[in-house]
Amino acid sequence: MSRITLENVSKVYPDGTRAVNALDLEVEDGELVVFVGPSGCGKTSALRMIAGLEEISEGTIKVGDEVVNDLPPKDRDMAMIFQNYALYPHMTAFDNMAFALKLRNVRREERRRRVEEAARVLGLADVLGKKPRTLSGGQRQRVAMGRAIVREPQAFLMDEPLSNLDAKLRVQMRAEIARIQRTLEVTTIYVTHDQSEAMTLGDRVAVMRKGELQQLDVPQRLYRDPVNLFVAEFIGSPSMNLVVAQVDRSNGTATVEFAGNRLALDAETMQSRPELDRYVGQEIAVGVRPEDFSDAALSGEVPADRLLSVVPDIVEDMGSELFVHFSMPSPPVASEDVVDAVDDPAAVEARKTEAARHGTPFVARVDRESHAREGEELKLAVDVSRVHFFDLATGRALGRA
């Protein structure tokens, strides 16, 4: 049994910095859970406490039913894979993978069996006799993974293992990691700052901010129903379009208004979000995912109260789709939640400058058949059933019933 349980786990450094605060979660046996968040959010500190590399300030960590708070790393039966491969340059790939087994006095025949079996899984059978300097970055990373696999641990702990690879190789390797983890069925905790990596790898994803868990869920639900503005802004690429708007109701019809536009909210949308009625007449944050826009010319007959008339600044042809960039003359959402999620002060300032000059920047992902052109008016249909609403003061999602 290799279920990993964290109960009210905190890490406080001597200077008073609370890197992790009251973290509660359970990683099921054989599950791959990804910790994701901006730099300094506490994800690596949490991983290091699980590994035994950091002392736990408060709380309890269990592996199965055993409390491991006071166990040294070597007795926790976990294999850690770092972003730095840390391979011995004078040893072959085979010897690097077998070294930990040799230190544990595992018999030569058993060492060979485990290394060759791991090499088959990792596609390394042809390079076992080579030294690290002759291997590609992806091969070195697989050797580092092989070194962990041969130990047959209860759990894998991975700390940004792909950050040193180029973008194309990173995509290939994350698919490899997912395949290997599902083949071996070993409980795995994976740390990354890359939300795309988190969403494609994790059975579940834990989004962290300033040491606290914001949301733990399967990727689809995390994307579809973010619990607050931070998660909404952090998850998704391109990120969610966020704008300050007002909820109104007249003649029995609810609407959301921003930048001179009025989008009707049907009865089903209002019933699924009962809290919205309390915000009638107030400003809230409204979010629209880029893919929840469509080119009205390709969407059949669309009611006028579901349309936005925009003038694209930039149209990016991605081959399979178009990214249409435009601005809306309405205030951007610039709360602390959004600033923390962007995690780049320069980018935040650039957004503010852009919004002051031209309005809040938006991105729409539309069909490749769209005739969107820069500088020419475009009618976009909005799927209001997928629009997100947030309390401006607290950042909390005004969620589904």
| Whether residues 78 and 174 fall in one domain | yes
Output the domain CATH number for residue 201. Answer: 3.40.50.300
Q: Per the domain annotation, does 191 fall within a domain? A: yes
| Whether residues 221 and 239 fall in one domain | no
Q: Per the domain annotation, does 400 fall within a domain? A: no
Give CA–CA dist 222/232, Å, rounded.
9
pLDDT at 168: 83
pLDDT at 1: 53
| Whether residues 13 and 159 fall in one domain | yes
Last residue of a domain, one of 225, 247, 267: 225
Helix axes 93-103, 137-149, angle to 10 degrees: 20
Give CA–CA dist 24/90, Å, rounded.
43
| Whether residues 166 and 56 fall in one domain | yes
**Residue closest to 65 by CA, chosen among 111, 19, 2, 149:** 2
pLDDT for residue 58 is more than 60: yes
Give CA–CA dist 190/226, Å, rounded.
21
Q: Supply the range of the domain harboring residue 319.
A: 234-390
pLDDT for residue 50 is more than 90: yes
CB 100 within 8 A of CB 176: no
The pair of three-digit structure tokens given for residue 323, joined into one six-digit string: 């990214």
pLDDT band at 252 (very low <50, low <70, confident <90, very high): confident
| Whether residues 238 and 217 fall in one domain | no
**Residue-wise pLDDT tens digits, 1-38:** 589 999 999 999 999 999 999 999 999 999 999 999 99
| Whether residues 100 and 248 fall in one domain | no
Give CA–CA dist 394/228, Å, rounded.
8
| Whether residues 327 and 297 fall in one domain | yes
Give CA–CA dist 205/213, Å, rounded.
10
Q: Per the domain annotation, does 62 fall within a domain? A: yes
36 phi and psi, to 5 degrees?
Answer: -135, 150
**Residue closest to 366 by CA, chosen among 288, 304, 303:** 288
Amino acid of residue 101 = L
Amino acid of residue 146 = G
Share of the chain above pLDDT 70, in %: 99
| Whether residues 220 and 243 fall in one domain | no
The pair of three-digit structure tokens given for residue 217, joined into one six-digit string: 């869920």
DSSP string of 19-46? EEEEEEEEEPTT-EEEEE-STTSSHHHH
| Whether residues 55 and 171 fall in one domain | yes
Sign of the Cα torsion 136, 141, 142, 146 reads: positive
The pair of three-digit structure tokens given for residue 156, joined into one six-digit string: 């894998």
> Cα(first)–Cα(last) distance of the chain, in Å?
36
Omega within 30 of 0 (cis) for the link into 72: no
Last residue of a domain, one of 193, 225, 257: 225
Q: Per the domain annotation, does 131 fall within a domain? A: yes
Local structure of 55: helix, strand or coil: coil
- How many domains, in total, are found in the chain? 2
CB 333 within 8 A of CB 244: yes
Q: Per the domain annotation, does 137 fall within a domain? A: yes
| Whether residues 188 and 56 fall in one domain | yes
| Whether residues 335 and 210 fall in one domain | no
**Residue-wise pLDDT tens digits, 74-95:** 899 999 988 888 899 999 999 9
| Whether residues 173 and 301 fall in one domain | no
The overall average pLDDT reported for the chain is: 91
